[in-house]
A and B are shown apart, each in its own frame.
Chain A
Amino acid sequence: MMESQPAIQIDDLTVAYNYKPVLWDIDVTVPEGVLMAIVGPNGAGKSTLIKAILGIIDPIAGSVRVFGKPYKEQRRLVGYVPQKGSVDWDFPTTALDVVMMGTYGQLGWIKRPGSKQKKSALEALEKVGMLPFKNRQISQLSGGQQQRVFLARALVQDATVYLMDEPFQGVDATTEIAIINILKELRKRGKTVVVVHHDLQTVPEYFDWVTFLNVKKIATGPVKDIFNDDNLTKTYGINYKVAINN
């Protein structure tokens, strides 16, 4: 990998659904190997930013480069964990089958997954502690278990950069710890992880990089430098007291 290139480079990104812009002129650089939180109030455009990076939404203007090249050429390097609520969990399929879907991108059109793909799916299920549930119908999993299945699906993508939309939403403490440990392990292996996050209390503990977002980018940088009352107030519009334990 080109050392000098940032994992993700977003320039002048602007997105609107109707008339009102959801994201306005966003410039964010995500250095390689960081664990970044995207924080901001509801409607700040956090999910939209992730979707625009992934090309799910067409931006009005701006560019997204992954390791120096346009995202479209670098798709294979980027893994995605969507919001849990974005799919129908009553779909007739099993946990293992969902995780296997993470391998479809490497397979390309028409080719079917084989034993190699199954093996890596089982490994990913093991890693998130869901191996005993591999043959469960996905509607019979708890919310936390469903989230872990989604994470496992992203792990089998074997990406270099991971984008995750609220992976901690609606999960219990055990699952939250399991997930953050996996994220930290990814960082240790040199991966870059960007997470839409809601719980401000845990930002300093979980992440080393943060982006404050509220339609515009308020600030982006290392947590220890910019995670302060000033930026929180600018982002949330109220004086947000957060205990920062350094």
Chain B
Amino acid sequence: MSLFDYFDQVFSDYTLRTITLGTAVLGAACGMLGSFAVLRKQSLLGDAISHAALPGIALAFLITGTKDTNLLLMGALISGLIGTFWIRGIIKKTHLKTDTALGLILSLFFGFGMLLLTFIQKQPNANQAGLDKYLFGQAATLVESDVTLMIFVTLMCALVLLLFWKEFKILLFDADFTKTLGFNTRFIDILITFFIVLAIVLGLQTVGVVLMSALLLAPAAAARQWTNRLSSMILLAALFGAFSGVFGTAISASQNNLSTGPVIVLVAAVFVLISFVFSPGRGLLFRELRFRQNRRDLQLKKTLQLMHSIAKTHDDISHPHAIRILNNFQGFTKRSLQKMEEKQWITLQQHHWSLTEKGYFAAENMFNETTHDESTN
């Protein structure tokens, strides 16, 4: 199947439609909530939570003996939440820093989860196969009820976000101040964390514990590059996440069923890369261009200043001077002379330049102009 076939069939083919809708909704939810994780500098929390969910899945299977997705994900949710509260506890009660606490819980829970998985595999039970899909995810196993659950949780999350928008925003920016205003910061904090855990757990089936945090962080990191407003950042992150889901599924379905989770994550990474380079405000490309433009402008102005100071010594400001007296001056190049002629600041004859009236006034008023520029910016 080619990419074209995929988009041709995505609305008619039941399986394709279910999977695409599922990954799109998941991407949107992760983008939204990932923005919070990124802005709180808790990017690694997502990684720790997703790894912490693994033993929950294994234990849920061991206890119930079924592979019902909802039951397993319930186990994941519980162990993910336990991991989260342990992390918070460690940070609060010991001198350990956040990264250490995250690393500890991540590897401890993941190790325990792997141990349980190998134990399950050794069991003489035909039912045991397939649990390892939660390691890297398997979007193909998504069914309609999974997607319905995802949509429900995403809508809930969006609703809570709209309702507590102001509280979320102020807590993200300045938690101490929020507390002095009389808000219960613990409640807001737990609400945010709960939804982050929920989004991660929902993504385990599709993307898996190992790569889940990338889907959480990448859309948010990309979105931050394009905007300086929190609301636009969250919307953009949701959009990037959703597109990563759709494109990832499309590529994976059309290329011989490549594993969907990793492809989604790679598509999200492409969004990040493009944003880092091409975003107008913070992107590397435009920043470099602006930087160079700025430098050239300043060099030009500096040269004009020098010419102005030379021309001032003559009664006639347009008296021609030799170009070579500029030779040892930094910022002077052949190109800058041409540029200045284009701006009609100077006229050039052979080896001489002379300042025009326009150039003279430009030099006189240069300082006023720059300060003016700054205050109106």
Contact = CB atoms under 8 A, between A and B. Distances in A.
B23 to A, nearest CB: 27
B270 to A, nearest CB: 22
A71 to B, nearest CB: 10
B166 A92 contact: no
A95 B167 CA distance: 18
Given A82-B174, A104-B170, A110-B164, A93 B228 contact: yes
A37 B232 CA distance: 42
Instruction: Tell me the dominant secondary structure on chain B's binding face.
Output: helix
Interface string B144-171: 0000000000000000000111110110
A91 B163 contact: no
Interface string A82-103: 1000111001111000100100
- Indicate the size class of the contact surface on chain A: 20 to 34
B166 A55 contact: no
Interface stretch (B7-15, B177-185, B239-247, B260-268): B177-185
A78 B228 contact: no
Contacts of B166: 104, 107, 110-113
A113 B181 CA distance: 15
B230 interface: yes
A157 B176 CA distance: 15
B357 to A, nearest CB: 33
A55 B179 contact: yes
A82 B229 contact: no
B41 interface: yes
A241 interface: no
Contacts of A76: 182
A86 B165 contact: no
A51 B176 contact: yes
A113 B167 CA distance: 12
A19 interface: no
A86 B375 contact: no
A80 interface: yes
A188 B227 CA distance: 42
B229 A92 contact: yes
Interface of B: 39, 41, 163-167, 169-170, 172-174, 176-183, 224, 227-230, 233, 375-376
11 contacts: A54-B180, A56-B176, A56-B180, A75-B182, A91-B173, A91-B230, A92-B228, A93-B169, A93-B173, A101-B170, A157-B181
Closest 5 CB pairs of A and B: A105-B181, A137-B228, A80-B180, A54-B180, A75-B182
